[in-house]
């Protein structure tokens, strides 16, 4: 996935905003290996300042993940069988969402110091309580930052946890819409734009075909 973040250039004081490819699943800088990443894909907003895995990144390495929406799954009964049904959750009025995120850099000990791939860039999505239609599918949701708070959230010179935490409180919920999509989403190798198209969840096929 891609994240927007701000960092000072190594050879100067200037702070630059950039779009960067990030591995989903945070690998803390102190981790012995990358295995932790598979368990740290999400970070609860309630624990960011206290949990050792997130504390340093919360203070110094914050990002946003631009997205048109996200998937959640819920078991449903189809002809007496339980199926894990995926849903695409997106803003009712369209547009791009800005998910609050943290990122880390982990030095791979198996690579040389001058290897450009030595540093593993990883990320985790900040989550909060879900409300409205999204809350009927899952009790947690990515924390969506309003545009007026993005600059402060990305600012690497803001390191006071108490001040940073205020950026994540009192946020008005973005109206979200939920629609069932094809179970082809469940296969990691599938990556097509039509996978966010609505389907008849009991037939698992596009609505225009289900109604034919």
Is residue 116 a part of any domain in this protein?
A: yes
Is residue 198 a part of any domain in this protein?
A: no
Per residue in 97-147, pLDDT tens?
Answer: 999 999 999 999 889 988 988 999 999 999 999 999 999 999 999 999 999
Q: Tell me what the mean pLDDT of segment 8-23 comes to.
A: 80
Is residue 148 a part of any domain in this protein?
A: yes
Residue that has been written with the tokens 């969506």 in this structure: 144
Is residue 190 a part of any domain in this protein?
A: no
Is residue 189 a part of any domain in this protein?
A: no
Is residue 35 a part of any domain in this protein?
A: yes
Q: What is the predicted pLDDT for the residue at 104?
A: 96
More confident residue, 211 or 94: 94
Q: What is the predicted pLDDT for the residue at 206?
A: 63
Between the CA atoms of 80, 84, 85 and 90, what dihedral angle is there, to the nearest 10 degrees?
160
Answer whether residue 159 shows pLDDT above 50. yes
Q: Tell me what the mean pLDDT of segment 52-56 comes to.
A: 95
Domains: count for the chain: 1
Domain containing residue 8: 2-68+95-174
Mean of per-residue pLDDT scores for the chain: 90
Sequence-ordered list of residues with C-beta below 8 angstroms from that of 184, at least 6 positions apart, any chain: 190, 195
Is the separation of the CB atoms in 131 and 31 below 8 Å? no
Record the pTM. 0.89
Is residue 102 a part of any domain in this protein?
A: yes
Looking up residue 29, the CATH number of its domain turns out to be 3.90.1680.10
Is residue 179 a part of any domain in this protein?
A: no
How are beta strands 2-8 and 62-67 bridged, if at all?
antiparallel
More confident residue, 172 or 15: 172
Q: What is the predicted pLDDT for the residue at 212?
A: 34
CB atoms within 10 A of CB 12: 8
CA-to-CA separations, 174 to 46, 91, 152, 179, in angstroms, rounded: 20, 7, 20, 16
Spatial distance between the Cα atoms of 155 and 95, rounded to a whole number of angstroms: 24
Considering only CA atoms, which of 169, 129, 127, 173 is closest in space to residue 152? 169
């Amino acid at each position: 996935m891609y994240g927007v973040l701000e960092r000072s250039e190594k050879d100067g004081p200037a702070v630059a905003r950039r779009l960067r490819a990030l591995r989903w699943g945070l690998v803390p800088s102190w981790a012995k290996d990358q295995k932790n990443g598979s368990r740290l894909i999400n970070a609860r907003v309630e624990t960011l300042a206290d949990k050792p895995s997130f504390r340093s990144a919360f203070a110094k390495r914050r990002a946003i993940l631009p997205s048109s929406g996200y998937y959640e799954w819920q078991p449903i009964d189809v002809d007496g069988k339980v199926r894990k049904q995926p849903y695409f959750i997106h803003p009712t009025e369209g547009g791009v969402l800005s998910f609050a995120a943290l990122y880390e850099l982990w030095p791979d000990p198996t690579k040389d110091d001058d290897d450009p791939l030595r540093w593993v860039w990883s990320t985790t999505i900040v989550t909060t309580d879900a409300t409205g239609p999204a809350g009927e599918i899952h009790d947690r949701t990515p924390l969506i930052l309003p545009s007026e708070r993005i600059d402060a959230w990305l600012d690497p010179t803001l390191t006071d946890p108490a001040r940073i935490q205020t950026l994540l409180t009192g946020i008005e919920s973005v109206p979200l819409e939920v629609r069932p999509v094809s179970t082809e989403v469940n296969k990691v190798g599938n990556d097509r734009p039509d996978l966010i198209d609505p389907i008849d969840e009991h037939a698992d096929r596009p609505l225009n075909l289900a109604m034919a």
